[in-house]
């Protein structure tokens, strides 16, 4: 097996870990991060937390409203599709199940942290540039009055059992390379989603994207070296002067004006996320998946629509975290192509010699882990760049072991300060990596969040 950089196509809190095979330190760090979510103590003062929580919830509520406002606004959408896919209002934020992991872990008390913890925090801050100002950035450890997960039931998903219903049949994809040992099984089904469903989802994504792209995204990098490499690619003098000194305080993001100048110069895919219960379509989809693949709705995370423009793909990666012992990891993936791509955009499993050509409505489902919950490295796959046309997909990841926060919408971090609709672009691993536009923010760009996991 060749050594490669991997990272997951998206960041769900418990599996933010990006395994860098060539860099065990990074790997350890990220692994610790994954585990840290469940085990880390608080590092931040509780005094500010209430304020931040209120502000955070306010931003979140605003974002939620605008999100659904955007999703619901699709004048050209056939009404039945609109009703099916976009019809519901967001859950009332007050009733929402908020997660109790990672940065949202409930505090035992509101007292200040012991000195050693404070020191740790300060030393991590010391690494930052002097230019970034006087106010220490605060990464909130939000205090939740009450965090409840009604009806949560621990579930293990260690098998994929496809089932044909009516004239819709699954085809097992033949593995073409000689691999001694693979647990990966890949199936496809044509017309898993109807044409109207595909179009409705794409339309919802496009409208949503427009709603979020008024001011352009804020661009964040996994580290300074990565940023340097991306900027080097842009042959303009002003980009040479940008360094981590220019990161927005506490983050690995450039400010809105610099990000805007890079807009159009860096390329990326766009992703819209929605969560179980936020749309009738989420229920339609997860029920269909459960009936036809045996994948349990409770083990599913968020739903993600991703569109790739010409020239953009997604690097070779595994959906699970290589070598990770945490079984709250992606056991299986379902991906549905929402359109036909004129050229390129295949899903390629390089270790298995498998290449799947996008086709509107076609589903691709595969396993990433063995039945004991180990990540199978033969599941390496990539989205080859679109050569001509555009490629849109809907994806959902199903986890081996579910956890209460799975599939729940997270409150957004308060940094960088931004409007509720400002999207985020995450760029990582220049040589084999990519930049990706997201409609929602997670915590990966926060320096202190990362430092906390060290």
Question: By the criterion CB under 6 A, which residues form the site for ligand NAG?
Answer: 130, 179-180, 246, 255, 257-258
Q: How far apart are CA 356 and CA 364, in angstroms?
A: 8
Residue 251 corresponds to which tokens in the numbers above?
A: 């983050």
Which residues fall within 8 angstroms of residue 438, CB to CB, at 6 or more apart? 10, 271, 273, 423, 424, 425, 426
- Least Å from the CB of residue 245 to ligand NAG: 7
Give the closest residue to 418 by CA, choosing from 296, 264, 259, 291.
Answer: 259
Classify 334 as helix, strand or coil: strand
Q: Output the CA angle 442-365-161, nearest 5 degrees.
A: 120
Q: How far apart are CA 32 and CA 452, in angstroms?
A: 10
Quote the distance between the C-alpha of residue 137 and its chain's center. 24
239 vs 402, beta carbon nearer ligand NAG:
239
Least distance in Å: CB of 398 to ligand NAG?
27
**Least distance (Å) between residue 243 CB and ligand NAG:** 9
Q: Which is nearer to ligand NAG, 120 or 261 (CB)?
A: 261
Q: Three-state DSSP class for 86?
A: helix
Nearer to ligand NAG, 45 or 255 (CB): 255
State which residue, 134 or 257, has the beta carbon closest to ligand NAG: 257
Q: Residue 276 contacts by C-beta under 8 Å, 6 or more apart in sequence? A: 282, 283, 286, 297, 300, 302, 303, 407
- Among residues 156 and 258, whose Cβ is nearest to ligand NAG? 258
Angle between helices 49-72 and 195-212 (to 10 degrees): 130
Contact in structure between 118 and 331 (CB atoms under 8 Å): no
Element (H, E) at 58: helix 49-72
CB of 317 to ligand NAG, least distance (A): 19
Supply the minimum distance, in Å, between the C-beta of residue 79 and ligand NAG.
43
CB of 241 to ligand NAG, least distance (A): 8
- Whichever of 193 and 218 has its CB closer to ligand NAG, that residue is 218
Rounded Cα distance, 21 and 30, in Å:
11
**Nearest CA among 371, 317, 220, 337 for reference residue 5:** 317
* Residue closer to ligand NAG, measured from CB, 21 or 93: 21
Residue with smaller CB distance to ligand NAG, 130 or 151: 130
Least spacing, CB of residue 3 vs ligand NAG, in Å: 14
Closest contact distance (angstroms) between CB of 48 and ligand NAG is 23
């Amino acid at each position: 097996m060749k050594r490669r950089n991997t990272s997951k196509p998206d960041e769900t809190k418990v599996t933010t870990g990006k395994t860098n095979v060539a860099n065990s330190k990074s790997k350890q760090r990220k692994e610790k991060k994954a585990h840290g979510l469940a085990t880390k103590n608080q590092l931040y003062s509780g005094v500010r937390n209430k304020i931040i929580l209120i502000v955070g919830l306010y931003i979140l509520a605003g974002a939620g409203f605008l999100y659904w406002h955007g999703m619901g606004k699709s004048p050209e959408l056939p009404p039945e599709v609109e009703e099916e896919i976009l019809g519901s209002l967001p859950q009332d934020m007050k009733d929402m199940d908020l997660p109790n992991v990672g940065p949202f872990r409930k505090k035992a008390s509101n007292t200040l942290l012991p000195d050693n913890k404070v020191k740790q925090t300060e030393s991590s801050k010391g690494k930052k540039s002097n230019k970034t100002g006087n106010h220490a950035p605060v990464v909130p450890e939000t205090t939740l009055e009450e965090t409840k997960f009604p009806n949560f039931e621990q579930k293990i998903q260690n098998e994929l059992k496809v089932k044909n219903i009516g004239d819709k049949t699954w085809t097992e994809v033949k593995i073409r390379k000689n691999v001694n040992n693979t647990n990966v099984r890949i199936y496809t089904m044509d017309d898993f989603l109807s044409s109207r469903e595909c179009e409705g989802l794409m339309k919802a994504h496009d409208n949503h994207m427009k709603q979020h792209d008024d001011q352009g995204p804020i661009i964040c990098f996994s580290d300074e070296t990565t940023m340097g490499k991306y900027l080097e690619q842009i042959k303009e003098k002003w980009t040479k002067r940008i360094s981590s000194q220019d990161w927005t305080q506490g983050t690995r993001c450039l400010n809105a004006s610099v990000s805007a100048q890079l807009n159009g110069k860096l390329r990326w895919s766009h992703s819209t996320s929605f969560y179980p219960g936020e749309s009738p379509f989420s229920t339609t989809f997860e029920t269909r998946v459960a009936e036809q693949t045996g994948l349990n709705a409770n083990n599913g995370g968020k739903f993600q629509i991703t569109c790739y423009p010409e020239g953009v793909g997604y690097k070779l990666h595994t959906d699970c975290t290589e070598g990770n012992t945490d079984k709250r990891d992606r056991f299986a993936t379902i991906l549905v192509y929402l359109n036909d791509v004129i050229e390129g955009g295949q899903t390629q499993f390089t270790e298995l010699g498998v290449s799947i050509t996008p086709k509107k409505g076609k589903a691709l489902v595969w396993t990433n882990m063995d039945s004991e919950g180990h990540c199978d490295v033969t599941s390496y796959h990539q989205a080859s760049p679109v050569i001509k046309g555009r490629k849109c997909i809907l994806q959902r990841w199903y986890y081996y072991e579910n956890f209460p926060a799975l599939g729940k919408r997270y409150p957004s971090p308060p940094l960088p300060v931004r409007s509720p609709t400002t999207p985020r672009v995450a760029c990582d691993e220049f040589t084999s990596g990519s930049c990706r536009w997201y409609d929602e923010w997670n915590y990966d760009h926060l320096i202190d969040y990362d430092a906390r996991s060290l």
